[in-house]
Amino acid sequence: MESWIADARPIDSLEPEIAFHLWDEFHPALHHRPEPLALPEIPRASRLRARTSEVIGHQADLAAYYGRVAALARQHALQLHQVRQYFRMDLRLDNEEADIHLSFPWYDTFSAMDHFLAAVAGNAQGMVYDDQDQGWAVEAWAFDGTLYIRQSDPDSDDEPGQAVALPRAGLQARIASLRERTTTLVAHLAKELGPDVWPGGDAQPAGTFDSR
């Protein structure tokens, strides 16, 4: 057992949420003036982030927004990999009352995030997840119904990171809802924009846009 587990902060719950990143400008190329990009008319707490819980019921508005991104890319003869940033998403686990905020800065597609979500939602015991990249690491352990999650900076000896302990069942229920609505949204976007345009499943934006 890892030494940090004994010192993990006990909390009641975490709220997992995935959000779509929004842009109000389209940058066609280096040294070119950006063009205005109309944001979707979706009621949301953050101007440039649309959470899945906010998008449900407004799928057409989000698809229209990404349609505008695709149209501008075609207008400037850009391939999908050149506008990758406009399709990014992020995953966060928050407990506002406890001021706990866990993020996954190296995951920007649902398929990448879902590896973590599926591991936590499963029934394995012991270490259930472990990943790291530059300046970031996350690990999750499960014992007897309690989940322990730690986010840290593996490149720093002075940064202890955040470690929490919480009931696994409650987070699993929230994750199930999150995965269901995100799958629904990504499938809708892929249907409207084409499977190569939207990075659903394990697909990554690459190649060229179709004629939509």
pTM: 0.91
φ and ψ of 86, to 5 deg: -75, -10
179 occurs within a structural domain: yes
Q: Are 83 and 103 in contact (CB under 8 A)?
A: no
Q: Are 17 and 51 in contact (CB under 8 A)?
A: yes
Both structure tokens of 38:
């109309």
User: CA separation (Å) from 24 to 28, 49, 62?
Assistant: 13, 11, 13
Tell me, what's the pLDDT at 30? 73
Q: Are 148 and 141 in contact (CB under 8 A)?
A: yes
Q: Are 53 and 181 in contact (CB under 8 A)?
A: yes
CA distance 153 to 146: 23
Domains in the chain, number: 1
| 116 CB neighbour count, 10 Å cutoff | 21
Which bin fits 31, alpha (ψ -120 to 50), beta or left (φ > 0)? left
pLDDT < 70 positions in the chain = 1, 158-160, 199-212
Tell me, what's the pLDDT at 199? 58
Instruction: Determine the structural domain holding residue 180 and report its residue range.
Output: 3-122+172-193
Tell me, what's the pLDDT at 182? 96
127 occurs within a structural domain: no
68 occurs within a structural domain: yes
Both structure tokens of 30:
């280096």
- 130-143: per-residue pLDDT in tens? 999 999 999 999 99
Tell me, what's the pLDDT at 203? 42
Tell me, what's the pLDDT at 1? 64
Angle of the 110-121 helix axis to the 168-193 helix axis, nearest 10: 150
- 86-126: per-residue pLDDT in tens? 999 999 999 999 999 999 999 999 999 999 999 999 999 99
114 occurs within a structural domain: yes
The DSSP secondary structure of the chain, one letter per residue, reads --GGGGGPEE-S--EEEEEEE--SEE--STTSPPEE-PPP----SBTTEEEHHHHTT-HHHHHHHHHHHHHHHHHTT--GGGGGGGG-EEEEEEETTTTEEEE-TT--SHHHHHHHHHHHHS---EEEEEEEETTEEEEEEEETTEEEEEEE-TT-SS---EEEEEEHHHHHHHHHHHHHHHHHHHHHHHHHH-TTTS--TT----S-----
205 occurs within a structural domain: no
Both structure tokens of 66:
């990404």
